[in-house]
């Protein structure tokens, strides 16, 4: 496979400490180079190689396509910005575009809206050149322009970071799952949980969406369907779109069990069926989402059972912490046999919420 690559050189007296922190954060992805002055790690999107000089570092990133290469640049530039408080002097040479519209951005427009349940709305969007969204992860970021204003979309800076519109042009950004996608026909479906309250801009958009409404989308990311023969899925309403897609894309030889928390029977939606798929619905019956504790309770009741079990979970932050403790400490599953994510957090909005609204 021919990889795309880019490089940058940074001269700074503090760069060694900053790079040591990056190395520690990605230690599980590091590979042995056999050279004390050079280290490398390989992750989902690509690889990063660092070669150290007297007061600087030469960094090379590589990936299989332009989107993943851009992600690798952003990972590194974001780390530098966070720990050096500046990206001055960080300029990339090589493959990929470092200015203009991000290669992973698309403008999409609403085609139709369908109510799936009392608390779930599905929107179908039309877009051009959607092939990139068919691989590389289940999740995308939806970019909602301010009501009544012409959308101003993000651009890429020379340092590899996204330059976001600000002030009156600031966008609302939320993470969602692509529920279904047809590249040939040029459409994708996104399911939205409908929350009570005023501070839910994405849910409000979905509830009021009309054909022709335009938003942006960047991605994908967040990992794909787990490659496991014995899969246990656990999630609340916000994880239901991802669970639905995972079950539909399950390998014929794999088995899956899903534990899904919703408010009541009226919130059940159709999911893939088969002798290798078992779904158990857990009902809050009016209790507040994120406080019922039904998912951790069901997991403890079930137990780990199989030696080859892989656990995937998406839920509110408090349940996330408890579920992660169950699978790691109580069940003793190694890190490569579970993926537990906080999709949202009580009282938090946007990126701080941790995931889908």
The residue that leads in pLDDT, 132 or 1, is: 132
Q: Please state the rounded mean pLDDT for residues 100-110.
A: 95
Place of tokens 């998912």: 295
Alpha-carbon gap, residue 229 to 332, rounded angstroms: 19
211-232 confidence digits (pLDDT tens): 999 999 999 987 788 888 999 9
Predicted confidence at residue 97, as pLDDT, reads 73
Hey, which bits of the chain come out as E strands?
4-11, 30-31, 38-42, 47-52, 56-63, 93-94, 105-117, 120-127, 139-144, 155-156, 162-163, 172-177, 180-182, 187-193, 214-221, 230-235, 255-262, 277-283, 309-316, 338-344
- Counting residues of the chain whose pLDDT is more than 90, the rounded percentage is 75
Rounded to the nearest integer, the mean pLDDT of the chain is 91
Task: Judge whether residue 18 has pLDDT over 50.
Answer: yes
266-307 confidence digits (pLDDT tens): 999 999 988 899 999 999 999 988 899 999 999 999 988 777
32-78 confidence digits (pLDDT tens): 888 878 899 998 899 999 999 877 899 999 999 999 999 999 999 99
* Least confident range of 134-138, 198-202, 206-210, 311-315: 198-202
């Amino acid at each position: 496979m021919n990889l795309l690559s880019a490089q940058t050189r940074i001269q700074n007296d503090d760069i060694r400490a900053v790079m040591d922190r990056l190395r520690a954060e990605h230690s599980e992805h590091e590979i042995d180079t056999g050279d004390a002055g050079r280290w490398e790690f390989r992750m989902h999107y690509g690889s990063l190689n660092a070669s150290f000089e007297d007061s600087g570092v030469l960094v090379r990133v590589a990936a299989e396509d332009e989107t993943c290469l851009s992600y690798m640049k952003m990972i590194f530039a974001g780390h530098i910005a966070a720990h050096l408080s500046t990206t001055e002097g960080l300029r990339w040479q090589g493959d990929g575009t470092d200015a203009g519209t991000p290669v992973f951005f698309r403008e999409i427009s609403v085609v139709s809206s369908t109510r799936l349940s009392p608390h779930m709305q599905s929107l179908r969007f039309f877009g051009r050149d959607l092939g990139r969204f068919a691989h590389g992860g289940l999740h995308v970021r939806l970019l909602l322009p301010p009501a009544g204003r012409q959308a101003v979309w993000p651009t890429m800076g020379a340092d590899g970071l996204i330059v976001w519109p600000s002030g009156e042009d600031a966008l609302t950004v939320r993470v969602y799952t692509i529920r279904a996608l047809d590249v040939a026909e040029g459409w994708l479906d996104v399911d939205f949980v409908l929350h009570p309250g005023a501070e839910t801009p994405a849910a409000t958009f979905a509830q009021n969406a009309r054909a022709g409404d335009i938003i942006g989308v960047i991605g994908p990311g967040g990992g794909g369907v787990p490659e496991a023969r014995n899969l246990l899925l656990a999630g609340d309403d916000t994880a239901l779109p991802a669970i639905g897609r995972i079950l539909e894309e399950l390998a014929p030889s794999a088995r899956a069990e899903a534990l899904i928390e919703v408010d009541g029977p009226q919130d059940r939606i159709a999911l893939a069926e088969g002798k290798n798929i078992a779904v158990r619905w857990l009902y809050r019956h009016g209790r507040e989402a994120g406080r019922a504790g039904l998912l951790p309770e069901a997991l403890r009741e079930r137990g780990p059972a199989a030696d080859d079990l892989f656990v995937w979970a998406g839920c509110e932050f408090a349940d996330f912490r408890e579920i992660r403790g169950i699978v790691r400490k109580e069940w003793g599953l190694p890190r490569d046999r579970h993926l537990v994510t906080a999709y949202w957090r009580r009282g938090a909005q946007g990126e701080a919420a941790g995931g889908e609204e």
